[in-house]
Amino acid sequence: MQNSTSRRLFGRGVFAAAASAALMQAAHAQAWPNRPIRLVVPFPPGGGVDAVGRILAEPLGQALGQPVVVENRAGAGGAIGVDSVAKSPPDGYAFSMVSAGNMTAGPVVRRTPYDPSALGFVTMVCHSPLLLVSRTTLEARDLAGFVDLVRRQPDLIRFASGGVGTATHLAGELMNLRLGTRMLHVPYRGTGPALTDLVAGNVDIFFSDSSAWPMVQQGQLRLLGITSATRWATSPDTPPINSIVSNFDISNWYGVIAPPDTPLAIRERLANEIARILARAEVGEMLGRIGFQPAPMATVDFGNFVRNETEIWRAVVKAANIQPE
């Protein structure tokens, strides 16, 4: 009887402790924030991640009542910036924009200083296809012409990427795998520098995020195809690569993460504020101008999405035998 009573009392104690912890988290979230928040963009200015982070920062700061300061920390395919947030205190004052490259694609190519699965997932923000863009002087003028060219000159085509292990890198390697070709990979420290060199004609193609779209409109680059299996609303006449190259379906997405152990209540509040901002017509229009669609996702669902996509990229990396530099 005494043992039974002790077990009941112990069980009540555990329940009370859990309930107390939940109440403390909720109270912390209600008091949060009371000082400025850092939003790290782990790539240089000029790319899609940077553009989306800056679109979010001002209205998010207004919604939270504290400034949201964008901080660019580039390098290692986005790993340096994400790691700086992963090592920050889990108090709700440091977050990072993330992409497939530094959350799912990159970490299966090379070891990252952080464990993506241990980070505090917040929400997805937006998605779009990758755009297969070329220098305007490239011989191929459309998707069919490019596929023919790369098959005839497999060792001469230079494809840029935003860094080893980024989605822009793995997209090129996936095309090599599907076509049986050997395009030369030329890595850069982010989308911005890669686009600059592509416009200058120093490389031939780039699987860019949709920040390349204004350059296409201005005639600086040529859009050959998109990586999603369906047409892209921003440029509906552009063919999906999948229409010529089988089993080629990639989406580009951006999201927000926090340090490990950041209270769920804070992460969910931030996710809800971001979802409300993304529902505004003017924000949707700003994202649309750079080719993105709002895609807010519940915190738990975002975590599951990242884990599932990691396994998809793991299979691609193994099949293509991609090795870190």
d(CA 234, CA 280): 19
Q: What is the mean pLDDT of residues 286-315?
A: 90
Mean pLDDT of the chain: 89
Domain-located, residue 117: yes
Model confidence pLDDT, tens digit, residues 172-207: 988 998 999 989 999 998 889 999 999 999 999 999
pTM (predicted TM-score): 0.73
- pLDDT value at residue 250: 84
Phi-psi region of 126 (alpha: psi -120 to 50; beta: other; left: phi over 0): beta
Domain-located, residue 37: yes
Q: Do the strands 205-208 and 158-161 form a parallel or antiparallel pair, or are they unpaired?
A: parallel
- pLDDT value at residue 12: 58
Helix (H) or strand (E) holding 64: helix 48-64
User: What 3-state DSSP class applies to 223?
Assistant: strand
- pLDDT value at residue 323: 73
Domain-located, residue 32: yes
DSSP string for 159-216 = EEESSTTSHHHHHHHHHHHHHT--PEEEE-SSHHHHHHHHHTTSSSEEEE-GGGHHHH
Query: Quick one: 141 and 238 in the same domain?
Result: yes
Q: Which residues contact 21 (CB under 8 A, 6 or more apart)?
A: none
Query: Quick one: 135 and 239 in the same domain?
Result: yes
Query: Quick one: 223 and 285 in the same domain?
Result: no
Model confidence pLDDT, tens digit, residues 297-306: 999 999 999 9
pLDDT bracket for residue 110 (50, 70, 90): confident
Query: Quick one: 140 and 232 in the same domain?
Result: yes
Q: What is the mean pLDDT of residues 270-284?
A: 97
Phi and psi at residue 249, in whole multiples of 5°?
A: -145, 105
- pLDDT value at residue 159: 97
Query: Quick one: 142 and 233 in the same domain?
Result: yes
Domain-located, residue 6: no
Model confidence pLDDT, tens digit, residues 51-99: 999 999 999 999 999 999 999 999 887 899 999 999 999 999 999 999 9
DSSP string for 79-132 = HHHHHHHHTS-SSSSEEEEEEHIIIIIHHHHS--SS-GGGSEEEEEEEEEE-EE
- pLDDT value at residue 312: 81
DSSP state of 47: S
Tokens of 155: 């060792």
Query: Quick one: 260 and 206 in the same domain?
Result: no
Last residue of a domain, one of 243, 265, 286: 243
Q: What is the mean pLDDT of residues 221-232?
A: 93
Q: What is the mean pLDDT of residues 149-174?
A: 89
Domain-located, residue 41: yes
Query: Quick one: 95 and 42 in the same domain?
Result: yes
Q: Which domain holds residue 73?
A: 28-121+254-320
Closest CA to 94 of 66, 75, 130: 66
- pLDDT value at residue 300: 96
Domain-located, residue 1: no
Query: Quick one: 93 and 114 in the same domain?
Result: yes
Q: Do the strands 37-41 and 94-99 form a parallel or antiparallel pair, or are they unpaired?
A: parallel
Query: Quick one: 48 and 93 in the same domain?
Result: yes
Query: Quick one: 239 and 151 in the same domain?
Result: yes
DSSP string for 234-269 = TSTTSPBGGGTSTT---EEEEEEEE-TT--HHHHHH
Model confidence pLDDT, tens digit, residues 39-64: 999 998 988 899 999 999 999 999 99
CATH code: domain of residue 194: 3.40.190.10
Query: Quick one: 136 and 63 in the same domain?
Result: no
Q: Could you give the number of structural domains in the chain?
A: 2
Domain-located, residue 192: yes
CATH code: domain of residue 114: 3.40.190.150
- pLDDT value at residue 7: 54
Other CB atoms closer than 10 Å to residue 64's CB: what's the count?
A: 17
Query: Quick one: 229 and 303 in the same domain?
Result: no
Which pairs with CB-CB distance under 8 Å and at least 24 residues apart come from 63-70? 63/273, 63/276, 63/277, 64/33, 64/37, 64/270, 64/273, 65/33, 66/33, 66/34, 66/35, 66/36, 66/37, 67/36, 67/37, 68/36, 68/37, 68/39, 69/36, 69/37, 69/38, 69/39, 70/39, 70/41
Last residue of a domain, one of 220, 243, 266: 243
Q: What is the mean pLDDT of residues 199-228?
A: 95
Q: Which residues are registered as beta bridge partners of 187?
A: 161
d(CA 306, CA 292): 19
Q: What is the mean pLDDT of residues 6-21?
A: 54
d(CA 59, CA 57): 6
Domain-located, residue 47: yes
Last residue of a domain, one of 214, 243, 272: 243
